[in-house]
Amino acid sequence: MTPTLVFDIETIPDTAGLRALLDAPSGALDGASDEDVANIALHQRRQHNGSDFLPLHQHKVCAISCALREGNNFKVWTLGDANSTEAEIIQRFFDGIEKYTPQIISWNGSGFDLPVLHYRAMVNGVQAPRYWDLGEDDKDFKWNNYISRYHTRHLDLMDLLALYNARANAPLDDLAKLCGFPGKLGMDGSKVWDAYKAGKIEEIRNYCETDVANTHLVYLRFQLMRGHLTPAAYEAEIKLVRETLSTYPAAHWTEFLVAWKA
């Protein structure tokens, strides 16, 4: 069985990069705090775009969480630790692809997570040869690689379920809850920057982990729907997730299991 790797990232404004990119008079940002720089960028974005959501290349990755299903095992974890640099956690992500060549699974990974990782990998000098192989090194990758939208080495569940129609996209939180899974617990992406400023990086990492757990569960339901899992196999996979998460002592997993109704 090909390993599957569900992934999710959390981001904050790239304040170091914004200092170089902001439309501000020379010297105007001297002495400005990172929060001040971010506030200026967010304000300018609202003025020009009506939304303070920054362009993807202006995001900085602060957490990457993964759910790996390989062999008889399932595990959820966040790459690195609270003190790891952005370069370290992005390199770890691509090193995992180098090691396992998994099918990677995301929710809106094509629209957000992967483009951000592409830009930030370039900024940080990260190497990812297996990920970027389009058949030059492995001929099988010519017909099934991580980059093509319609290949399955990367499966963006949101994009596929909406039939590549952005107007039909559904939020992960909604679909997870409709399927009886926990959905988001106490945080969403809009709260990450405030949590980061408050020094709550572990809470961000925990939130990111529950997102990949929700995505993995939705993926299992998708596999049941498409006939790639029998009802019995689906129940066995669900049991494996429950049993694995029940061995994790962290409080966010206790909350997740209590909220899991189906």
SS3 257: helix
Give the number of other CB atoms < 10 A from CB of residue 77: 14
Q: What is the pLDDT of residue 1?
A: 76
Any idea what DSSP says for residue 198?
T
pLDDT digits over 205-249, tens only?
999 999 999 999 999 999 999 999 999 999 999 999 999 999 999
Q: What is the pLDDT of residue 218?
A: 98
Residues 160, 150 contacting (CB under 8 angstroms): no
Q: What is the pLDDT of residue 28?
A: 65
220, two tokens: 């299992």
pLDDT digits over 151-181, tens only?
889 999 999 999 999 999 999 999 999 999 9
Spell out where 80-222 has E strands: 103-106, 154-156
Q: What is the pLDDT of residue 29?
A: 77
Q: What is the pLDDT of residue 27?
A: 65
Residue 149 — pLDDT band, cuts 50, 70, 90?
confident
Residue 18 — pLDDT band, cuts 50, 70, 90?
very high
Number of domains in the chain: 1
The CATH number for 109's domain is 3.30.420.10
Q: What is the pLDDT of residue 158?
A: 98
Closest by CA position to 62, among listed 157, 189, 184, 214: 189
Spell out where the chain has E strands: 4-13, 59-70, 73-78, 103-106, 154-156
Query: Which domain range does residue 150 map to?
Result: 4-259
Residue 261 has pLDDT above 90, yes or no: no
CA distance 71 to 95: 19
Give the burial string for 16-55 (b: 16+ CB within 10 Å, else e): ebbbeebeeeeeebeebeeeebbebbbebbeeeeeebebe
